[in-house]
A and B are shown apart, each in its own frame.
Chain A
Amino acid sequence: MDDNRMRELVQQAVARRCEPLAPDPFLAARVQHAAEQKGEPAMKKKLSAGLVVCIVLVLLSLTALAAVLLTGMEIIEQQAIPVARQNDAPLRVNDIYSHEELVALLRVAEENGITVEDDHIREALLRGEGYYEEETIMAICRAAFGGLYYEWDVEERHWYGEMMVEIGFRDVNYNRLPGEGELPPAEARALAGSLLKEEFPDAPIDDPARYRVVEDFDEGGWYFTYHPRNLSDAQYSIHFSHDCAVVERTCQPQSWETYSETQLMDAINSIYGYRTHTQKHWGLEGWYTFSQMLPGAVHTAAWDDEYDGYLATTYLLPSTGDITAEEACAIAMADAGADGYISADMLLLGKGKGEEEEKNRIWKVTLQLLNDEGEAETRSWEINAATGNIRHRMTFGQTTHRWARYMLFETYEAVRAASMTEADAKSCAIAALQQTYADSTPPLADEAFYDVNIRSVGGGQFFAVMFVSKTVEYGNAYVTVSTDGTAEISYAYFEPLTADNLHSRMSNVQGSALRWEQSVWVEFEQLLAAMPAPTTFEGKLFAAAHYPDASTVKLSLEDAVDVILRDLGTRSDDAVSWVLIDAEPHPVWKIRVSTFPANTLYEVDAMTGEILDRELYVCQNPDFDHDMKMFTLRSAYMPAALEEFGPVRIAMELTVKSDFDAFSYDETVFMNENCYQVTVDGMTVTFTSIDENLPSYRTTILDNGMDAEIEVFDIPEPRPESEGSPYGNG
């Protein structure tokens, strides 16, 4: 099976498995709301007086330390760890160091001759942001050890893992050292080259100018990969077991003559941009090499405006008549009135080809700067490399492509002008929908009925066109349009409005029903009542329920939530859903609250505040704990569900929720024929365990599913906690 076939199969499999998962159209709004509730990135606790003294002493004593400089490891061990230990760190993210502490660490590192090259971390910390605490520790170590994390040797990675655990960034150090029966690092390194050369005697892997070596090991042995630093040398790798038996030796010549544009991009990334695997670190040589090879690259479906732009651009190497990259950068910064930047890209480009090119050598400088509001802003300058005169300025907007920084402005504009516009994409999408749904296409182009949301996705290869209905009469549609005009309809809900799809249509317009205002439920009931009877399980339950006006009851939603919180005896994270449902003798607030280990559905008398029902809501399987439970009373849902789904499903649910162990197993175990044999006798369902680790259950459904008698038998011995999952979950 080749790679493309495998990709096709995996994508089909995942799409099928995940088909029931529906995106939440209000996620962005909810996240922004949550961010506002929680405040902006958690800022750090203030420095303790003792720590201030400690840091001041460290800084004051730097002169004394200069004679015996601290290494990167010592800075982490002697400075970072004690500070982390002093700070209690109950949370995992962004809460161990204050930005003052991180800045102090950076200063200590620099005073000891370790310069962190990541300007962005320095800038961010100087701006008072503590978000980069883990990155700061890593940056100090990278500056001290050199290279990338995965180019460190296994001892360095192990040490780093230990530090991460000490500080509290990690629970476990996954970077272990070879243990008993495993080949020690020094021996493995000595062996790797000689074993490789047994098969490839001419491999020039010992030349550090031509190769970078990456080592790794696990229970299967040692792995060494020799990455070439140019496009002509082959890549070598060797894998041998801890008893020194060679498992695999490879030599992969770089067949760049047949590379596609994306393979070429990967190859250049690997050689010139290996520090981050991005274009940012290609440098002039990397871009020059890329431009020399791109014309011969095989075009694939990934070829788009970006590659057109690269192809139309001349990338140059510096010559003696040019101002330097640093001088060009200084000109740009002076023009911006900036005394620092977050990040910088500098490219030497040619305008035109051949002789003309030599007359038009241009530095393209792109800086990420802080604007007056303290927000990052990307700006480009095009500077004549001979005179230093600025020929063009550009500020990146929200729709400017990242790759605009890697070509002249006029080249970028030209390739963009030649490509499909959003208006074209919308027309293509409407045409495709009209062709497919000739008899039922709604007025998609009419702004009175539809909002149309268009955006460029897939790195500019596609436009995603979403038609969002403004009324319940029509459903939504989603179409992707490729730059060659091919349209693919992801979905189009153009069926007529019925009692069965009214809820979903109203959710399109009003947002998730979990958080509808009660007035929306009242309107929903009125619309539903005027329609022909529903036919689905959900539709029938909705039709059977009545949703009164909230002003008719004594308890407001907030009052009801207070009742629930008092009942829980602890602060719940959130009320997830709410609705007021008519009942005898009083209307009932049905509220789902977020509790551990599962949510809880409450029914609260809306006149007296009495708690009428509590039910665990597992919610991981909509067929098991159905969404409808949130919108109907349990007394209405359970009989209907018993009729709809039958006694086995209901017995599973009642069993799982009644028995802690069963709950922890999850209902899916009951459905697994390798775990249980199920027999049904009227309303009595017996789950006979065929797995020695699981107990058996005999469950008799009572009162139309509202209650059950459950007998547990064949109870197994408790499993030791250390036993892992039988399915080998990593």
Chain B
Amino acid sequence: MQNVPGPETDLQVTFTQLVETYQKPLLNLCYMNLRDRTLAEDAVQEAFLRAYRALGKFRGECSEKTWLMRIAVNVCRDMQRSGWFTRLNRYITPDDLPEAASEEPDNTLADAIMRLPGKYREVVLLYYDQNMTMPEIAGALGIHASSVSRRLKTACEKLRDALGEEGQHG
């Protein structure tokens, strides 16, 4: 945006590009994990803050996306462990989150994803929504690719169970 002070260093240019490219995917990931707009925004900011502080040390051994997703997943996990989230989260039902549009969209699948236990929700979002490969997800979550595959399989079964007949119609 034109009124943001101009980038001064290559690092800042890189960082600005990273934020522009990945802010929305990270926001979606954090929102689907935390189910709270403000918490998701805070998580994204915290994730980028951590990324900024570590940017000079990013080795390029994984893609920028994998690296950022790993940071964001860890931030979400930290927030979910906090006392405030535990309290906040206790009675929330995804059915009642704000609707995206006024004409009553079908949020059945999104809600089912948000109801999944965290370890399954993470792999579903990274694999299907973020188009990451299983090895990339393994790198991002710090687990083995075969664990990703197994969690994904279980998650899909849970989603099918949750969706019932609707899932059959695709």
Contact = CB atoms under 8 A, between A and B. Distances in A.
A18 B36 CA distance: 11
A509 interface: yes
Nearest to B24: A23
Interface in B116-165: 116-121, 124-125, 127-129, 131, 133-136, 138-139, 142-147, 150, 156, 160
A375 B124 contact: no
Contacts of B50: 93
A671 B59 contact: no
Chain B, interface size category, equals 35 or more
29 contacts: A10-B128, A11-B129, A14-B125, A17-B107, A21-B31, A27-B44, A27-B45, A28-B16, A31-B15, A35-B49, A40-B53, A150-B143, A171-B81, A223-B150, A227-B146, A262-B133, A266-B133, A376-B57, A398-B13, A451-B2, A468-B2, A510-B3, A668-B96, A669-B92, A675-B93, A725-B89, A726-B91, A727-B94, A730-B119
A10 B53 CA distance: 32
B90 to A, nearest CB: 6
A24 B147 CA distance: 35
A218 B131 CA distance: 27
A455 B20 contact: yes
Interface string B15-59: 111111101100110011000111111001100111011101101
A728 B2 contact: no
B131 to A, nearest CB: 7
Contacts of A11: 128-129
A14 B10 contact: no
B72 interface: no
Contacts of B49: 31, 34-35, 38
A623 interface: yes
B52 A32 contact: yes
Nearest to A12: B109
Contact of B139 (A277, A376, A623): A277
Interface of B: 1-5, 10-21, 23-24, 27-28, 31-32, 36-41, 44-45, 48-50, 52-54, 56-57, 59-63, 78, 80-81, 84, 87-98, 100-101, 105-111, 113-121, 124-125, 127-129, 131, 133-136, 138-139, 142-147, 150, 156, 160, 167-168, 170
A668 B93 contact: yes
A32 B53 CA distance: 9
A453 B160 CA distance: 42
A398 B101 CA distance: 39
A616 B102 CA distance: 27
Q: Which of A93, A466, A729 has the most CB of B within 10 A?
A: A729
Contacts of A665: 90-91
A470 B2 contact: yes
A7 B132 CA distance: 11
A25 to B, nearest CB: 5
A619 B41 CA distance: 11
Contacts of B87: 597, 664
Nearest to B51: A31
Contacts of B1: 25-26, 451, 468, 508, 511
Chain A, interface size category, equals 35 or more
A120 B115 CA distance: 40
Nearest to B40: A21
A473 interface: no
A16 B24 contact: no
A575 to B, nearest CB: 16
A376 B61 CA distance: 14
B37 A31 contact: no
Contacts of B146: 214, 223, 225, 227, 237
Contacts of A510: 3
A262 B27 CA distance: 27
Contacts of A486: none
A203 interface: no
Contacts of A132: 57
A459 interface: yes
A665 B24 CA distance: 28
Interface in A1-48: 1, 5-7, 9-11, 13-21, 23-32, 34-35, 38, 40-41
A278 B61 contact: yes
B100 A14 contact: no
B20 A453 contact: yes
Contacts of B156: 6
A6 B5 contact: no
Contacts of B144: 148, 150-151, 214, 216, 225
Contacts of B3: 509-511
Contact of A21 (B24, B60, B105): B24
B89 to A, nearest CB: 6
A672 interface: yes
A269 interface: yes
Contacts of B105: 16
A21 B28 contact: yes
Nearest to A123: B57
Given A1-B167, A6-B128, A11-B128, A666 B59 contact: no
A216 B56 CA distance: 35
A16 to B, nearest CB: 5
B91 A41 contact: no
Contacts of B63: 459
A427 B74 CA distance: 40
A525 to B, nearest CB: 20
Nearest to A269: B135
Contacts of B56: 375-376
A129 interface: yes
A280 interface: yes
Interface string A264-279: 0010011000001110
A26 B31 contact: no
Nearest to B34: A620
A464 interface: yes
A6 B155 CA distance: 12
A51 interface: no
A28 B48 contact: yes
A464 B21 contact: yes
A352 to B, nearest CB: 29
Contacts of B92: 666, 668-669, 727
Nearest to A597: B84
A729 B94 CA distance: 11
Interface in A542-560: none
Contact of B61 (A34, A38, A270, A276): A276
A277 B96 contact: no
Contacts of A241: none
A235 B40 CA distance: 39
A1 B170 contact: yes
B133 A19 contact: no
B88 to A, nearest CB: 6
Given A26-B4, A29-B5, A343-B61, 4 more contacts: A16-B110, A17-B107, A18-B27, A727-B93
A92 interface: yes
A295 interface: no
Contact of A5 (B17, B125, B170): B170
Interface string A377-399: 01000000000000000000010
Contact of B57 (A131, A596, A623): A131
A342 interface: yes
